[in-house]
Amino acid sequence: MPADPLVLFRRWYREAEHKGSLQPDAIALATADARGAPSVRMVLFKGLDGRFIFFTNYDSRKGRDLAANNRAALVFYWPATRHQVRVSGRVAKLPRAASTAYFRSRPRGAQLSALASRQSRVVGSRAELERAVAELDKRYPETVPLPPDWGGYALRPEWIEFWENRPDRLHDRIRYVRRRQRGWRLERLAP
């Protein structure tokens, strides 16, 4: 096992991409509100800089949870390679410039949807959303502005667990726990 878990993560991620995993960047993100009520949903993993990066609406359920409780967990699952990676840690917002740069790289339709949607809020109908997108498309024919309530987050892992499927449920589970000073402590877990 490498001393750095991100080396193994990158290897497994590339393997999932090459083996044809359906959307290997789809992750389950678990959050909890200030009272500890949990919530989990799928989001897209958008990068790794020592932290796991994702983007969303700050006023969505997950955004409100993270504002009240910055601890979260992620799960990657790739059936094609029989691997799972779990990550737990603290989340912080990315700088606005990083959110702007990523937003500008998105397809125009995704930009318009982010601007039109008050994510997680009740809407009257799909037609209402489609009208809002059409109006914004006319209002911003060149550049869609970054919504003020939309941006990126980075999860700094406190631990990362790697699970590999094995026969007879005798799976391999390896956990890396961040040390206070530097580096990681490696642990083998019972399946």
> Is 80 exceeded by the pLDDT of residue 144?
yes
Kind and range of the H or E run holding 13:
helix 5-18
Mean pLDDT across 28-37: 96
* Rounded (5°) CA angle 50-52-58: 130
What is the chain's mean pLDDT, rounded? 95
Q: Enumerate the β-bridge partners of residue 31.
A: 39
Q: Locate the domains of the chain by residue range.
A: 5-104+150-189
For the stretch 85-119, pLDDT in tens is 999 999 999 999 999 999 999 999 999 999 998 88
For the stretch 146-186, pLDDT in tens is 999 999 999 999 999 999 999 888 899 999 999 998 899 99
DSSP 137-162: HHH-SS-PPPPTTEEEEEEEEEEEEE
Give the span between the Cα atoms of 49 and 141, in whole angstroms: 34
CATH architecture of 5-104+150-189: Roll (2.30)
Whole-prediction pTM: 0.93
Residue 155 is encoded by which pair of tokens?
Answer: 């999860």
Give the span between the Cα atoms of 182 and 76, in whole angstroms: 25
CA distances (Å), origin 14, targets 19, 59, 75, 91, 145: 9, 33, 16, 24, 33
